[in-house]
């Protein structure tokens, strides 16, 4: 069934002619781990995303600096680091920023539409999109809000419960989807995007954000996708030597910590893998539509997730943590055919990239000057020149969530990770090459003392601009105050 759209078009002046500007597509998932991509993990089936990476590049050290939904999306929206956009933990995305992805592309000649999950406040805020068609997983955070998906569902399947599976959006339980596959929000998001592209015949280049609300829980793939993983040896959670303290928390289906047994964790992960394969198939359908429409070859297509999912690693569930399961995300860039690249298609690039780098990349491709204050970097620099100067490491952090101890800042170059806990003064140091699961904290290891001191010094340099209580007299400080927003958060 085709969806009916009201296109509110406008006339704009842009720096280069419309036909010279490639279409731009941002495809994203919610809560997908970096190791849940076929390019890295042969146990998970993502053939369409793998093919997209083979037409571009896979950044295997892609990160989300504030790994929960809203602050991650603030970085994506603004091209800014956490301290600069102001969200240091889970809070409301501000109503207006100086730099906003849809508005900047709209101002420079693009028709901008967002489909799926935005997680903005108020929920109908456009941030410059001409229109959005929303699926917000049933969340009602603005008075009277009903998502476009829920409105569509009510006409497509009247008197049917869209939440019939009975699993909440933060649970670690799992189950198969109980309704027809084409009623699932994953299918709706893709089909809505496909139908829009099919009917798009405007002169303006198109910027489209296609944002899936899964594989974020509920882990509820259609049964035929779960069946694809029957007999597959799903990996057990990583379990650090340091993780025992998180095992004995009160049992709760929404738990952030706790040991629920290997069998439970593996079962949830099996459903999670299946949910990702379901999404991958929908992305494949969308890419097929782009090719049939003649929009694929000279388009910038970026695939990313807002953050990861611990899936029981170290007795942790959900996100907001410093560890790879939470902070590292899949990151694929397929550049337009008009870009002269040194990088061979299908390459794995090792530089640390982050959500803040996506808007600068889009602006670069669109021929728009990046504002000086925008501190993300254009990944086109790496595509055009393999030896291009790049950041040495990326910063990660999250204000207190779930438990008082979970208040931290981290730095990583993709090979080593240093974590500083603000409330306790605890440190962690991981060798990500030898220990990708972060199971061994090397802080007390004599062979790593020089490394520890070097990363501690980097952390002081990173936090220095914030002043007290973060740094005092050139040393890291622990403190009781929870700082959720920086002075740069728009009031």
Whether the bond into 306 is cis, omega within 30 of 0? no
Q: Do residues 321 and 398 make contact, with C-beta atoms less than 8 angstroms apart?
A: yes
In 44-195, DSSP assigns E strands to 57-59, 62-63, 111-116, 131-134
Name the catalytic one among 36, 48, 69, 462: 69
pLDDT of residue 131: 98
Q: Do residues 111 and 369 make contact, with C-beta atoms less than 8 angstroms apart?
A: no
6 is catalytic: no
Token pair belonging to 156? 């497509």
119 is catalytic: yes
- CA–CA distance from 171 to each of 218, 267, 377 (Å)? 6, 13, 35
In the numeric block, the tokens 């399947």 are attached to 157
pLDDT of residue 8: 35
* DSSP assignment of 203-244: SSPEEEEEEEEEESSSB---HHHHHTTTT--PPPPP--TT-G
Whether the bond into 122 is cis, omega within 30 of 0? yes
Q: Do residues 343 and 349 make contact, with C-beta atoms less than 8 angstroms apart?
A: yes
Beta strand 331-334 with 24-30 is unpaired
pLDDT of residue 331: 98
Q: Do residues 40 and 332 make contact, with C-beta atoms less than 8 angstroms apart?
A: no
- Condensed to tens digits (0 to 9), the pLDDT of residues 69-94 reads 999 999 999 999 999 999 999 999 99
Question: Whole-prediction pTM value?
Answer: 0.95
Q: Where are the domains of the chain?
A: 18-394, 396-476
396-476 matches 18-394 in CATH topology: no
Q: Which residues of the chain have pLDDT under 70?
A: 1-19
Which helix H or strand E contains 450, and what residues bound it?
A: helix 449-463
Contacts of 250 by beta carbon, 8 Å cutoff, 6+ apart: 258
Q: Do residues 303 and 49 make contact, with C-beta atoms less than 8 angstroms apart?
A: yes
In the numeric block, the tokens 């002269």 are attached to 340
Q: Do residues 49 and 283 make contact, with C-beta atoms less than 8 angstroms apart?
A: yes
Selection from 7, 462, 444, 460 nearest residue 203 by Cα: 7
Other Cβ atoms closer than 10 A to 170: 16
User: Any idea which architecture 18-394 has in CATH?
Assistant: 3-Layer(aba) Sandwich (3.40)
C-alpha–C-alpha distance, residues 107 and 369, integer Å: 12
Token pair belonging to 302? 């970026």
Fold of 396-476: Arylsulfatase, C-terminal domain (3.30.1120)
Other Cβ atoms closer than 10 A to 197: 20
* DSSP assignment of 48-73: HHHHHHHTSEEETTEE-SS-SHHHHH
Whether the bond into 218 is cis, omega within 30 of 0? yes
C-alpha–C-alpha distance, residues 218 and 227, integer Å: 18
- Scored b (16 or more CB within 10 A) or e, 72-98 reads bbbbbbbbbbbbbbbbbbbbbbbeebe
Other Cβ atoms closer than 10 A to 58: 22
Report the Cα 30 to chain-centroid distance in Å: 6
Start-to-end Cα distance in the chain: 43
* DSSP assignment of 141-154: -STT---HHHHHHH
Other Cβ atoms closer than 10 A to 68: 24
Beta strand 111-116 with 206-215 is parallel
Q: Do residues 57 and 350 make contact, with C-beta atoms less than 8 angstroms apart?
A: no
- Condensed to tens digits (0 to 9), the pLDDT of residues 254-265 reads 999 999 999 999
pLDDT of residue 20: 81
Name the catalytic one among 23, 48, 119, 316: 119
């Amino acid at each position: 069934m085709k969806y009916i759209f009201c296109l509110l078009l406008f006339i704009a002046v842009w720096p280069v002619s419309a036909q010279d500007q490639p279409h731009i597509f941002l495809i994203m998932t919610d809560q997908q781990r970096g190791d849940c991509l076929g390019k890295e993990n042969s146990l998970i089936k993502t053939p369409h995303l793998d093919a997209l990476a083979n037409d571009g590049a896979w950044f295997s050290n892609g990160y989300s600096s504030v790994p929960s939904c809203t602050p991650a999306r603030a970085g994506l929206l603004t091209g800014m680091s956490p301290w600069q956009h102001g969200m240091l933990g889970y809070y409301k995305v501000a109503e207006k920023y100086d730099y906003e992805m849809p508005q900047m592309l709209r101002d420079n000649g693009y028709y901008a539409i967002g489909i799926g999950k935005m997680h903005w406040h108020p929920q109908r805020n456009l941030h410059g999109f001409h229109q959005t068609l929303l699926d917000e997983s049933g969340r009602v955070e603005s008075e009277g809000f009903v998502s476009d998906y829920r409105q569509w569902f009510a006409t497509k399947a009247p008197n049917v419960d869209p939440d019939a599976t009975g699993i909440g959006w933060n649970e670690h339980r799992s189950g198969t989807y109980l309704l027809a596959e084409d009623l699932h929000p994953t299918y709706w998001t893709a089909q809505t995007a496909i139908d829009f592209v099919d009917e798009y015949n405007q002169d303006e280049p198109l910027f489209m954000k296609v944002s899936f609300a899964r594989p974020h829980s509920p882990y509820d793939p259609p049964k035929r996708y779960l069946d694809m993983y029957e007999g597959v040896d799903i990996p057990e959670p990583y379990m650090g030597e340091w993780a025992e303290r998180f095992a004995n928390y009160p049992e709760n289906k929404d738990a952030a910590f706790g040991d629920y047994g290997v069998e439970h964790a593996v079962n949830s992960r099996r459903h999670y893998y299946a949910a990702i394969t379901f999404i991958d198939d929908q992305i494949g359908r969308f890419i097929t539509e782009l090719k049939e429409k003649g929009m694929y070859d000279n388009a910038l297509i970026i695939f990313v997730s807002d953050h990861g999912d611990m899936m029981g690693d170290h007795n942790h569930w959900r996100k907001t943590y410093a560890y790879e399961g939470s902070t590292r995300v899949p990151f694929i860039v397929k550049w337009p055919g008009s870009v002269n690249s040194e990088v061979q298609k299908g390459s794995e690039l090792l530089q640390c990239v982050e959500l803040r780098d996506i808007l600068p990349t889009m602006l670069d491709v669109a021929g728009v000057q990046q504002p000086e204050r925008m501190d993300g970097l254009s990944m086109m620099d790496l595509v055009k020149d393999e030896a291009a100067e790049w950041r040495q490491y990326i910063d990660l952090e999250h204000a207190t969530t779930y438990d008082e101890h979970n208040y931290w800042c981290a730095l990583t170059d993709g090979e080593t990770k240093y974590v500083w806990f603000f409330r306790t003064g605890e440190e962690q140091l991981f060798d990500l090459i030898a220990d990708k699961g972060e199971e061994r904290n090397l802080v007390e290891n004599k062979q790593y003392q020089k490394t520890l001191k070097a990363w501690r010094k980097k952390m002081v340099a990173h936090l220095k601009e914030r002043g007290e209580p973060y740094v005092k007299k050139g040393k890291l400080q622990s403190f009781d105050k929870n700082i959720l927003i920086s002075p740069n958060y728009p009031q």
